[in-house]
Chain A
Amino acid sequence: MKRRKVDLAQAPVTLAKGVDERYQVATPLRALLNKVFPDHWSFLLGEIALFSFIILLLTGTFLTLFFDPSMQEVTYHGAYPALRGVDMSAAYESSLRLSFEVRGGLFMRQMHHWAALLFVAAIVVHMARIFFTGAFRKPREANWAIGVLLFLLGFLAGFTGYSLPDDGLSGTGLRIASAIMLSIPVAGTWISASIFGGEFPGHLIIGRFYIAHVLLIPAALLALIAVHLGLVFKQKHTQWPGPGRTNTNVVGERMFPRYALKQGGFFMAVFGTVALMAGLFQINPIWLFGPYRASEVSSASQPDWYVMFMDGLVRLMPNWQIYIPIGNGYSIPPLFWPAVVGLGALTTVPMFYPWIEARRTKDKSIHNLLQRPRDNPERTGIGAMAFTFFIVATLSGGNDVIADKFHISLNAMTWAGRIGLLIGPPLAYFLAVRICLGLQQHDREVLAHGVETGIIRRLPNGQFIEVHQPLGPVDDHGHPIPLEYGGWVVPKKMNRVGALAPAIKGFFFPVEKPAEAPVSPGMPPISAEEREEREEITSGR
């Protein structure tokens, strides 16, 4: 029998051909490999959220193998001596076991928690990037709404997650959650009783939160993330304006090889950051809080950072109760406004912002070029307003700690928060708008007169003038011809081209270096010959 000769070099070719014959992937695969992505550091913020989510799935799956979502009362006999003999729920007991009696369990738990904090933080920062640069404008309105929804889901995932260990801190959080449900007019008691399966705390809530946390919410997150990324893919990424970049093209790198490789490296760096934080910084040390007891709480009880704004709003809300004198009398407790209406409004109103803005500006055109925050002062002002509100609310969520550490009266902190919440945002709006206009003006000044060089020249008639380095062509008198405002970075530092060697070295390096490699078509690297063609700017000696 003749042995068949196997040509190893041809094997991949044969395989690829076989795959394509069956699935016709050659064309779509090429389009994928070739897809051009614009690059800018600010485009990576959303990816931090994506990578944190992957870490959350990996570590979370590990945690489920040890966690017992049961509220059965057990007595602790584990490795942590301070709690031995204490009655606690099986959920708390298994969380302790996970922390003390599973090899590397604490590391995984802390990694999961830090990744969760990073996940929500990255979502917020990414959202700010999208907002302040106007990336949500047509045709990307729906993706913005999906993003807001992802924040809400992240918030819920976080809340259900840190409620699971059933420790002293998270149990108090659950208690507040039940009070928030109770505060809903008409249906409050029914909602609370239905969710907790009777009166708080009941025996069901941890199990219910568990299935929400490990199945329902992650599934919704996964589906929405897929749609979110799919839309970015389909609609192509926005880009900053710049030479050669228009509303109808994408200037950047093809996805393969360089762009994808950079993404991989960045994922590893994010992963590494989470691992370092998980190893070095303790998070949620549940064994110090003890099991949940309805009668116990310690001061400085703070939720995770992204829930603190709600806690802050609840703290700042004045004790205004609405009584409705019908029959036995009904009431709407003050908790309802910040916790139910507040959270509802803060997560749904922003969803509609793209349409609100488009309607206000009557702008129906498609935008693929980003705006710098300074180029749309009003939007920047609104964003500054929202963030000031968020920051005041978040700080108020820890106002007892601030009062304690800085020796301020607690009541003064509450009043400062109440007043700050009202006057801070408008003030931020005003300041942001003024700063934007000022920055715009400076850009326009440079475009009109050139870059300031700091060189003072004395003319033969004794007059002193400051030399400006023109950015573009000059007229017969050597004055720069004013350039059009382009909504993109204007050089503010004197360019090295045509200037003397820098006199000062170091951090405050006053002269810009020429680009070593092109960053955009139309911005070629400066060659040596070109350098000599241009006139040197001298001090006139």
Chain B
Amino acid sequence: MTTLHDETEAVDVSDPRLSRFEIVKEGARRDDIEIVTYESQFHGTDSKAEKRVVRNIALLFFIAGIAGLVFLAAYIWWPWEFELGTTTSDYYTPILGISLGIALFAIGFGILSWAKKLLPHEVSIQKRHDGGSPTDEQKITGQTMLFVADELGQGVQRRPLLKGAIGLGLAPLGLAAAAPLIGGLIQNPHRDSPPMMFSTGFNSAFNDGKLVRLTRSDGTPLRPEDVSTGGQLTVFPGIPGGATNQWADSPTLLIHLRPDDAEVARKNADADPRNKGSMWGDYIAYSKICTHAGCPASLYEQQTNRLLCPCHQSQFNITDNAQPIFGPATRRLPMLPLTVDDEGFFVAARDYKDTVGPDFWERP
């Protein structure tokens, strides 16, 4: 099969008797292509089938035009500004999508049926030229490259001063070029004091040495009676911007346990050297930032006293120092030591003892 086109003779393209297609065929031959079939899909000219295809294509193009007009008209005149409730502007995007989609589909199918049904059917065979270049070409290029390498390489070999100069003179330049690109980005995570990796907004250092109050997201402080039994509330450090993302490690869950649960929780907390005495009455506060990947572990299941992180489904037991009981988290949620200040508002007795947030290499 592949040798077929070798049998076809070259033609003289200056021959005036040649048809245009014969010239095309000659061009194909020169590109190692044999056009095996190139024939109309219809029998004779003006066949009924052909006319039907032409009509269909024309119809598709007209549909494209009409849908395009609809798109333009809707784009300009359909009310588009958002209003509350169900309004005509709700249909703006769907109308744009439908009209543009139809227009593009119609054009697409018009072109496709033009190509597939109207244009002559074709089978062509082109020769591949796999494998390497001719061996002498390979050799010439190889030798040229070796020649270049020798010229540069041996030149350096022969001149030891140059060798040293390239090493010592250019290496710093390379590093100097890279340094400002990378150096500006590097930040020391342990630079700040108190260290950012190990402190939250509840550290009194951020509040002029005073104990930090627990506040709602609007900054108002909390009294114990603000959280009903069995209830829970997300609290933030009572410092400027304490509820913003600047203090992304600080959100804390304050839970008012039922008396019997609180008793279990207190017993477990007191058995732990770090959490001992951190509860205040029946109130307990845990960091909301999951120790696994840092999502807020915000789903509190009151009946089972579990806290679930919706990102990767780690589950923590509230009454047992928030130990992980299921899922990928390894480490318990840190407990915030609670107390109440002179005015009766909740404050953090000190910052978290455990490191808040996802784990990392140098966390002690």
Contact = CB atoms under 8 A, between A and B. Distances in A.
Contacts of A517: 41, 121
A80 interface: yes
B140 interface: no
Contacts of B75: 103-104
Interface string A184-202: 1111111011110111110
A368 interface: yes
Interface string A252-287: 111001110110111111111101111110000000
Nearest to A174: B294
Interface stretch (B150-158, B172-180, B325-333, B338-346): B325-333
Contacts of B131: 366
B2 interface: yes
A333 B196 contact: no
Given A35-B126, A315-B327, A414-B326, A275 B104 contact: yes
Nearest to B91: A279
Given A104-B75, A272-B108, A299-B310, A188 B123 contact: no
B296 A254 contact: no
Contact of A189 (B93, B100, B112, B197): B197
Contacts of A316: 328
Count chain A CB atoms within 10 A of each CB in B122, B299, B324 and give the residue with the most: B122
A283 to B, nearest CB: 11
A527 interface: no
B54 to A, nearest CB: 15
Contacts of B121: 517-518
B124 A330 contact: no
Contacts of B102: 272, 276
Given A175-B294, A188-B361, A272-B108, A80 B100 contact: no
Interface in B257-306: 288-289, 292-296, 298-299
B296 A315 contact: no
A539 interface: no
B193 interface: no
B248 A199 contact: yes
B28 interface: yes
A182 B295 contact: no
Interface stretch (B30-38, B163-171, B205-213, B221-229): B30-38
B1 interface: yes
Interface in B219-266: 234, 236, 243-245, 247-251
Given A251-B125, A279-B97, A328-B362, A319 B330 contact: yes
Interface in A497-541: 517-522
A317 B359 contact: no
B122 A254 contact: yes
Nearest to B24: A34
A532 B5 CA distance: 33
Given A295-B298, A335-B293, A276 B98 contact: yes
Interface in B133-154: none
B334 interface: no
B359 A311 contact: no
A178 B360 CA distance: 11
A294 interface: yes
B309 to A, nearest CB: 8
A107 B97 contact: yes
Contact of A258 (B115, B289, B324): B115
Contacts of A35: 31, 126
A376 to B, nearest CB: 21
A39 to B, nearest CB: 10
A298 B187 CA distance: 32
Interface of A: 30-31, 34-36, 73, 79-81, 87, 100-101, 103-104, 106-107, 110, 139, 171-172, 175-176, 178-180, 182-190, 192-195, 197-201, 236, 244, 246-254, 257-259, 261-262, 264-273, 275-280, 292-301, 311, 314-321, 328-335, 366, 368, 399-400, 410-411, 414, 517-522
10 contacts: A176-B295, A182-B360, A189-B360, A258-B115, A262-B112, A265-B107, A279-B94, A295-B234, A316-B328, A321-B331
Which 5 pairs from chain A and chain B are nearest by CB? A279-B97, A272-B104, A268-B108, A265-B111, A276-B101
Given A73-B244, A257-B119, A294-B250, 15 more contacts: A176-B293, A179-B294, A182-B360, A184-B361, A201-B245, A251-B123, A254-B35, A258-B122, A261-B119, A275-B101, A279-B97, A299-B310, A300-B310, A410-B313, A414-B327
